[in-house]
Amino acid sequence: MPLFHKDIWKYQLREAMIYWLAVPGAVIFSGLLLDRLFHLQALPASPWLTGTALLLLAAGLAFIWLATRDLARYGYGTPNPRRPPRRLVTGGIYRRCRHPMFFGYDLAALAVACLVRSPAMLCISLPVFFAIQIRYLHKEEQYLLRRYGEAFAAYKRNVPFLVPFRSTGEHEKCSQ
Measured from the Cβ of residue 40, the count of other Cβ atoms closer than 10 Å reads: 17
pLDDT higher than 80, residue 9: no
Q: Say what the pLDDT of residue 60 is.
A: 97
pLDDT at 165: 82
Q: What is the CATH T-level fold of the domain 5-175, as seen in this structure?
A: Four Helix Bundle (Hemerythrin (Met), subunit A) (1.20.120)
The pLDDT value recorded for residue 144 is: 95
pTM (2 d.p.): 0.86
Task: Extract long-range pairs of 172-175: CB within 8 Å, 24+ residues apart.
Answer: 174/95, 175/95
Model confidence at 5, pLDDT cuts 50, 70, 90, reads low
The CA-atom distances, in angstroms, between 140 and each of 81, 95, 144, 152 are 11, 18, 6, 12
Nearest Cα to Cα of residue 33 among 116, 127, 130, 112:
116
Q: What is the pLDDT of residues 147-157, one digit of tens each?
A: 999 999 999 99
Q: Where are the domains of the chain?
A: 5-175
- pLDDT classification of 6: cutoffs 50, 70, 90: low
Please say if the pLDDT value at position 123 is more than 90.
Answer: yes
The 10s digit of each residue's pLDDT in 12-56 is 788 888 888 888 899 999 999 999 999 999 999 999 999 999 999
Tell whether the model's pLDDT for residue 81 goes beyond 70.
Answer: yes
